[in-house]
Structure 1
């Protein structure tokens, strides 16, 4: 989920600190989420989606798209 979240956050001009403040967690915890080192609750997923002016399903669709791109690159090599 890391690339999709990072991409969306950056496209909104938000820093990790901005996002963490918006959703009510620490910057270090948000960083762990972006790196894929922490699972995200449904509640936090909705807060993150709200901060990005999107819906949780769009975040997951972007994540699936990112996975597909990485899989395609590995298949090409």
Structure 2
């Protein structure tokens, strides 16, 4: 399970609820969630705002930031 999907499920939202809120189709959001589509910075910010998080907390791999 991807981090984004886990966050969505933990917060009790459906794919459709998130997709409508950020202005994309459910299919497109599903592809983002399943890492079949890359996400623009603008869309990453919208997704993070939806979950009241920072984009880095969702999309940045922690392994890249530690030495």
Q: Above 0.5 in TM-score?
A: yes
> Counting helix residues as a fraction of each chain, which structure ranks higher?
1
What is the distance in 1 between the residues matched to 2:20 and 2:59?
Answer: 22
Structure 2, unaligned runs of 5 or more = none
Q: Which structure has the bigger radius of gyration? A: 1
What is the distance in 1 between the residues matched to 2:34 and 2:56?
Answer: 19
**TM-score, normalising length: structure 2:** 0.84
Total equivalences in the alignment: 63
Runs (4+) of structure 1 exceeding 2 A deviation are: none
Q: Alpha carbon RMSD of aligned pairs, Å?
A: 1.7
Which structure has the higher relative contact order (CA within 8 Å, separation 6+)? Answer: 1
Alignment map for 1:9-20 (pairs within 5 Å): 9-20=8-19
